[in-house]
Structure 1
Amino acid sequence: MKVSKGKWKKYNIMKKDEEISKHLPDTRILTDKSLWKMIERYRCVVLKPSRGSLGRGVIKVSLLVKKSYEIHFENQIKVFPNKEQALEYINKIRLPKKRYIVQQWIPHATTTKWERPFELRIMVQRMEESPNWVITGHLAKVAAVGYFITNVATVAPIQEAIDDSPVKSNITSTLLLDIERLALRVASRLEKYYPKYRNIGLDIALDQNGHIGIIEANLTPSIKIFQYLKNKEMYDTVKLYRKGRVD
């Protein structure tokens, strides 16, 4: 039986694991009812296509004072005085004919150098015919000016971004190890439902206290972003594992 590769399906697969679920933002299928309920509960949510890539069609909605709504789409921010006007704009900018999810917004730590939010990309891969998952690459994606998503990003080594953020003062000695353990657990969990996939790109957000939040697990991640690191060794390793074998 074919299993959907959409964000909603992967979210529900991961949520059934008690340890992984601690790091997942609350997520629902987007309807008018679920949108306003989630905004009332969290004040800030993200709307995204369940099947989509490269950040296309992703929208951030925040509840402001006096029940007005701020909508951040790409590098544009607009404020609407009521639900009706906010919803009209959302329906105008969302991708047509796409099933959307609404997700609790995870606050992102920001770097001092760029003063912009960042996410972590963790690559978990395994060779053909091998059951062993390996962390092959990791980096920080720093959002471009005016954007809240990191698909349009500056790339930095993961430790450099953490050291240049408020996370550093709250970091535990095991943070990076905890991230890697979580990534391997996610890969093992998803493998049960997607046994043919050997490359998983995990997007992770850290808040200022260093809490780990899973944004998304990509089954067909692009590895191009790793070539922008000055040290190409990690990119070479990721390429080798994507190939799946050593000739």
Structure 2
Amino acid sequence: MYKPRINNKFHKHQIMMEDPCLAEFIPETRLFTNNNLIDLLNKYKKVIVKPSRGSLGKGIVVITELGTEEYELLQLNKQKHINGLENVYKYLKKLENFNIPNIVQYYIPLAKVYDRPMDLRYIAQRTEQDWTITGKYARVAKVGYALTNFEHGSSILTVEDALKSSTIKNFNIKELNEKLNMVTLSITTCLSRYFPNHKIWGCDLCVDEKGSIWIIEVNSSPQIKGFLELESLLPMYQSIVGYKTLNKKKGRRSR
């Protein structure tokens, strides 16, 4: 078996797909090839293409089938229309980020807040009690954007406020919160088997309008600046920084 790399999104996807506790929460994902792009677009009509390594939303393209051989490509807030799947593939291959392996993935129909897509960032860290969720918030995309990256102007809300304001239909907020926590901790248990010395994971989750939970991706070096946006999130920020400092000290002592 290949040696999984901690910063490779496709490797982490494959690891989680092998876990029966997580497989149901993972959107269909393949390595980017012309055939895989055609297959997934024919199957779902909307997909997302992104680098297998990278962050901050760089190099991500959302592709929507509008009609027979007509496609819309959205990069941040810039739209482009292309006729023919072969031309879509050729266009993507010319983009700057396509010098590294990419993945193509079913585009999850994210629940919306204020008519804008919304997802969730959960931080889990090693603590005295093994793994603990030390922070969480919701990100609501900027108007005109398909992506919720904080660096591209998304709004930060508490998870509870976002869920209550969302377009999710007929859900119990307590049960949904418990399930989101369960999925996050299942991710840490799974990935720890392959990366036993790692101390922090940023789990990007989302809920679709039917209330189903999905795992978007898992980051090994998650940004935490979003916790500074709301006063109510500051205790989480302080807890995350505190455990990062503590785990660094423990790492030095174990050498």
State TM-score, norm by structure 2.
0.90
Query: Alpha carbons of 1:246 and 1:32: their partners in 2 closer, same or farther (altered >3 Å)?
Result: closer
5 Å matches for 1:1-247?
Answer: 3-5=4-6, 6-112=8-114, 115-127=115-127, 130=128, 132-151=130-149, 152=152, 153-167=154-168, 169-171=170-172, 173-231=174-232, 232-244=234-246
Partners of 1:162 and 1:168 within 8 A in 2: no
Counterpart amino acid of 2:226? Answer: I
Query: Separation in 2 of the partners of 1:214 and 1:246?
Result: 28
Query: Alpha carbons of 1:2 and 1:22: their partners in 2 closer, same or farther (altered >3 Å)?
Result: closer
Query: Separation in 1 of the partners of 2:173 and 2:235?
Result: 27
Alignment RMSD: 1.8
Identity, % of aligned positions: 33
1:39-76 CA deviation, whole Å, 9 max, x = no partner?
11111111111111111001111112222111111111
Query: Separation in 1 of the partners of 2:248 and 2:43?
Result: 50
Partners of 1:44 and 1:63 within 8 A in 2: yes
1:123-170 CA deviation, whole Å, 9 max, x = no partner?
11113xx46100111100111122111112111111111111122633
For 1:60, what is the secondary structure of its paired residue? strand
Counterpart amino acid of 2:40? Answer: M
**What is the count of residue pairs matched by the alignment?**
243
For 1:126, what is the secondary structure of its paired residue? strand
| Runs (5+) with no aligned partner, structure 2 | 250-255
| Runs (5+) with no aligned partner, structure 1 | none
Counterpart amino acid of 1:137? Answer: G
For 2:108, what is the secondary structure of its paired residue? coil
Measured after TM superposition, the shift of residue 19 of structure 1 is 1.8
1:182-230 CA deviation, whole Å, 9 max, x = no partner?
1001001101111121110000111111110000011111111111122
Partners of 1:42 and 1:104 within 8 A in 2: yes
Counterpart amino acid of 1:222? Answer: Q
Measured after TM superposition, the shift of residue 91 of structure 1 is 2.2
Counterpart amino acid of 2:49? Answer: L
Counterpart amino acid of 1:10? Answer: K
For 2:145, what is the secondary structure of its paired residue? coil
Partners of 1:122 and 1:137 within 8 A in 2: yes
Partners of 1:171 and 1:209 within 8 A in 2: no
Counterpart amino acid of 2:165? Answer: D
For 1:182, what is the secondary structure of its paired residue? helix
Measured after TM superposition, the shift of residue 109 of structure 1 is 0.6
Measured after TM superposition, the shift of residue 77 of structure 1 is 1.4
Partners of 1:49 and 1:100 within 8 A in 2: yes
Measured after TM superposition, the shift of residue 173 of structure 1 is 3.6
